[in-house]
Amino acid sequence: MALEEMIETDLTACSEFGGTLTHNLDLVEEPLEYLYFEEETEVILEKGEYEGATAFVPMVVMQTSVAAGVGKKSLLTIDGEVFGVIYPDKQNDGTTKIYLER
């Protein structure tokens, strides 16, 4: 078994500790598993007039394979609250951090 396959298998097992959110894109809803959700995550803005400024935004971490269809036009409902996607940030460990806005 390749390393990528082992990581995917391990992350799938860890999803039971996270939860389920609802992904909505173009009025099509689908449930997706997430690994964990943070109400506030510190980010440093990299572009525009606010470059270098710090902001606190919600973030959800998902397996990259599960988050494949999540993009900037997506809406995610987590624990009854709807979030827009600021941007998905694909990591090198088989996960994707998705930064959100209320």
Summarize pLDDT for 43-89 with one digit per residue, the tens: 887 777 778 888 899 999 999 999 999 999 999 999 999 999 999 99
Match 């298998």 to its residue by tokens.
Answer: 9
Residue 11, helix vs strand vs coil: helix
Residue-level pLDDT at 51 = 81
List of domains in the chain: 3-101 (2.40.10)
pTM of the model: 0.81
**18 or 66: which carries more pLDDT confidence?**
66
Supply φ then ψ for residue 63, to 5 degrees.
Answer: -65, 140
**11 or 88: which carries more pLDDT confidence?**
88
Supply φ then ψ for residue 97, to 5 degrees.
Answer: -90, 125
Closest CA to 61 of 81, 32, 84: 32
Band (2; pLDDT cuts 50, 70, 90): low
> 48 vs 9, 28, 42, 78, CA distance in Å?
39, 33, 18, 29
